[in-house]
Amino acid sequence: MRLAFAVLFLGGCATAPAVVKPAPVEAAPAALPALPVCPTGPVPFTESASVAGAMVEKVCLVGASEDGYLRMHELVAPREGAPLDAAEVRADLEALFSQGLLRDVVVVAQPLSSKGVMLSYVVTEYEWITQVDFTGVKAVKTDDFREIAHAGVRAAPFVIKTLTDTIEALYDGLGYTQAKVVATVKSLAGGNAALSLAVDEGPQVTVGEITIEGAQQVPLAELRKSLRSAVGAVFLQELVERDTLALTTLYFDHGMVNVAVVNTTRALPKGAVELVFQVKEGDVFRMGRVSLTGFALGAEKDVLKGIEAKPKSVFSRSALQRDMERIRARAKEKGFVVEITPLTTVDPEKKIIDVAFELEKRPSTRIQF
């Protein structure tokens, strides 16, 4: 990226003509000043005095292809009619590069006879990828691979990085967690490029063992029942994250609201891994006061009579969710639609959680004729 406020001079030579008395002629009207014309090719320049502060009479975008010209020209067009300012031009350069289309930009300010300047942004774009080939692809269908790695995009570094990340994520979702993709771009004639993708799939990883560490207050059998990952199945990180959340939810239903569950793996022979869930259980919390606020569905004691969340019972998030469904059903019986927000107040000393169900009446969506 280069920013050079350079001045171009058009030179020439002339000889003094003999003095000839001109014949009287009528005065010709003053010619209108010629409008500056944007260059269509390389813009030569020589370092010279600064032209900062001169009025920008014309803004040109040189070297841009048809597909990106309008978008990029809109970014620099506001400079036209304003004084030339280096900080604003640098902001233009950042905006141009943020489009992800350009390899380089040179800015040239050419002085005009009107004392203004013509400001040219000379851009060099990344090549178009017109050819794509790949090696090492076995576990993924060729058609599926070509849907991701296809021609018709710019060979910009962030485009290539996004492409390789997407391919590796595809393999990860199939259990090939060690898959790597190396991209190579080769320039072709006419501003085009060829993209080569070398894929090292690696082994498909399976779950050899599942271990839950730190579990003391909830039976292991109950914890394992909440898991979807299974020994002998393909290791899928997405499924492991779901299992981590399921274990956390199960502990919440046993009153341990400060539980922390993390997952990790340990390598085993023959491409398998031991899936490990590490648990820090924390204290058991119980229910404190349960109340209703907001829109009234009747006497509080009548509404709360049939709920699970009783004072001194072990706190359970699932029980609270079921209680909210019961309250919604009661509201529906009375012809109302309510939104319920559970508001909790935690007493860490007494290990008590007070819950207030905040009810808000909503307009009914029932249509009557």
Q: Examine residue 16 and state whether it is found in any structural domain, yes or no.
A: no
Give the amino acid at 300: E
Same domain, residue pair 118 and 132: no
One-character DSSP codes across 302-352: HHHTT-S--TTSBP-HHHHHHHHHHHHHHHHHTT-EEEEEEEEEEETTTTE
- Across 174-202, b (16+ Cβ under 10 Å) vs e yields ebbbebebebebeeeeeeebbbebebebe
Q: What pLDDT shows up at residue 131?
A: 94
Give the amino acid at 280: K
What CA–CA distance (Å, rounded) separates 291 from 327?
Answer: 12
Q: Which domain holds residue 343?
A: 286-362
Give residues with Cβ within 8 angstroms of 163, minimum separation 6. Answer: 148, 149, 153, 183, 197
Same domain, residue pair 303 and 274: no
Give residues with Cβ within 8 angstroms of 336, minimum separation 6. Answer: 295, 297, 361, 364
Domain boundary among 125, 141, 162: 125
pTM of the model: 0.65
Give SS3 for 280: strand
Same domain, residue pair 251 and 271: yes
Residues of the chain with pLDDT under 50: 4-23, 31-32, 46-48
Domain boundary among 200, 227, 244: 200
Q: What pLDDT shows up at residue 8?
A: 37
Q: What pLDDT shows up at residue 48?
A: 47
How many domains does the chain fold into?
A: 4
Q: What pLDDT shows up at residue 213?
A: 97
Residue 278 tokens, joined = 């590490």
Q: Examine residue 89 and state whether it is found in any structural domain, yes or no.
A: yes
Same domain, residue pair 105 and 148: no
- CATH number of 265's domain: 3.10.20.310
Q: What pLDDT shows up at residue 228?
A: 97
Domain boundary among 103, 125, 147: 125
Q: Examine residue 15 and state whether it is found in any structural domain, yes or no.
A: no
